C-alpha cells in the first residue's frame, strides 16, 4: 500500500512538472480594486519644465511639451487607452494609481479586455459588471491558456479591431472571442466582448455551432440558453434557444429547469 502511495505521489509530481514546463512563464493576473467605468485619475499630474519631454497628466491623458513652456494635451483612446511612461499605450502602470475599468459581461467565464492586452475579466453572469484582472508589467493576456504570458513581440499584444462597416470586431485570429462595436456619430463608443460557446466557432460574423448529434446542448456562456440540434438534408441544423424566465438549462435532463429548486425531500 505504501509503495502504491509513493508511486502515486511521484506520478503527480511528474505531472505537475510537465504542466509547469508547458507554460513556465505564465501567471494569473491580479484582481483590481472595484473601479469605475471611466478610467481613474492618477495621483500626480505631469508638468512641463522645459524641453520637449512628455509625460502623463493622468491615466488617460498624455502631455507633450513644446519647449516654449506650453504643452499639447492628447486623450488616449482606442487600442491605446492608457498613458504609460509618457506615451499612449495598451499597457497600464499600476504604480501611478491606474486600474483597469470593468466591462459589461455578455456571458459567463473569462473574457479578454477589448482595449488593454494586459488585462482580462472574470464574469459570473450576463449583464453584470466584471471582475477586472491586470497582468504584471511585461506580461499580456493569453486567450489560449487564460493566463498572463511574458510579452516579447509586438504581436503578443492582442486587442479588438473594430471595422465600422460591419460593427463586428475581431480579437486577433481567435475563433472563440469576438466583439460587437458600438459607434456614435462615426466614433467608437463602446466595445462588448463576446465568446462562442463550447462546440461553436467564430466565422467572422458570429458563432456557428457544430452539431454532432440530435439533442439539446448547453450554451457554456449562458446557462439560460441552449442549442437544439436536428438532422436536415443529410446534415445538421440547430436553433439557439432561451429558457423561459426564471429557468436554466439542465444538461443532464436536457430541459429547462427552475433556477432555484423549491423541491422537498420525501
Torsion of CA 87, 91, 95, 99, to 10 degrees: 120
33 vs 36, 94, 234, CA distance in Å?
Answer: 10, 11, 53
Greater confidence, 238 or 67?
238
218-224 contact pairs (CB < 8 A, 24+): 218/249, 218/251, 219/249, 220/108, 220/109, 221/106, 221/107, 221/108, 221/109, 221/126, 221/194, 221/195, 221/196, 221/197, 222/107, 222/108, 222/126, 222/197, 223/108, 223/248, 223/249, 224/248, 224/249, 224/259
- Tell me which of 82-96, 154-168, 202-216 is least confident: 82-96
Claim: this prediction has a pTM higher than 0.85: no
Grid coordinates representing 7 are: 508511486
pLDDT one-digit tens code per residue, 120-135:
999 998 899 999 998 8
Greater confidence, 12 or 108?
108
From 76, 55, 47, 51, select the one nearest 66 (Cα to Cα).
51
Cα separation of 261 and 263, whole Å? Answer: 6
Q: Residue 123 class from Cβ within 10 Å (0-12 exposed, 13-18 middle, 19+ buried)? A: buried
Question: Is 42's pLDDT higher than 60?
Answer: no
Q: What is the mean pLDDT of residues 175-191?
A: 89
pLDDT above 70 covers what percent of the chain? Answer: 81
Structure confidence at residue 20 (pLDDT): 39
Question: Is 11's pLDDT higher than 60?
Answer: no
Q: How confident is the model at residue 10 (pLDDT cuts 50, 70, 90)?
A: very low
Amino acid at each position: 500500500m505504501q509503495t502504491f502511495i509513493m508511486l502515486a505521489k511521484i506520478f503527480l509530481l511528474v505531472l505537475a512538472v510537465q504542466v509547469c514546463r508547458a507554460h513556465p512563464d505564465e501567471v494569473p493576473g491580479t484582481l483590481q480594486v472595484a473601479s469605475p467605468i471611466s478610467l481613474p485619475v492618477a495621483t500626480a499630474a505631469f508638468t512641463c519644465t522645459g524641453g520637449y519631454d512628455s509625460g502623463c497628466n493622468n491615466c488617460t491623458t498624455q502631455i507633450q511639451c513644446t519647449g516654449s513652456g506650453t504643452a499639447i494635451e492628447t486623450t488616449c483612446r482606442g487600442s491605446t487607452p492608457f498613458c504609460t511612461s509618457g506615451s499612449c499605450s495598451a499597457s497600464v502602470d499600476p504604480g501611478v494609481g491606474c486600474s483597469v475599468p470593468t466591462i459589461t459581461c455578455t456571458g459567463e467565464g473569462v473574457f479578454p479586455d477589448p482595449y488593454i492586452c494586459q488585462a482580462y475579466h472574470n464574469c459570473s453572469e450576463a449583464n453584470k459588471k466584471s471582475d477586472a484582472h491586470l497582468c504584471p508589467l511585461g506580461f499580456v493576456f493569453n486567450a489560449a491558456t487564460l493566463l498572463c504570458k511574458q510579452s516579447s513581440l509586438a504581436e503578443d499584444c492582442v486587442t479588438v479591431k473594430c471595422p465600422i462597416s460591419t460593427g463586428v470586431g475581431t480579437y486577433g485570429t481567435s475563433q472563440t472571442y469576438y466583439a460587437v462595436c458600438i459607434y456614435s456619430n462615426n466614433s467608437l463608443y463602446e466595445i462588448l466582448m463576446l465568446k462562442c460557446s463550447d462546440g461553436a466557432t467564430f466565422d467572422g460574423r458570429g458563432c456557428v455551432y457544430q452539431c454532432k448529434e440530435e439533442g439539446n446542448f448547453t450554451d457554456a456562456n449562458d446557462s439560460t440558453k441552449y442549442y437544439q440540434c436536428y438532422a436536415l438534408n443529410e446534415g445538421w441544423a440547430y436553433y439557439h434557444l432561451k429558457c423561459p424566465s426564471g429557468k436554466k438549462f439542465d444538461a443532464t435532463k436536457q430541459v429547462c429547469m427552475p433556477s432555484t429548486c423549491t423541491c422537498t425531500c420525501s
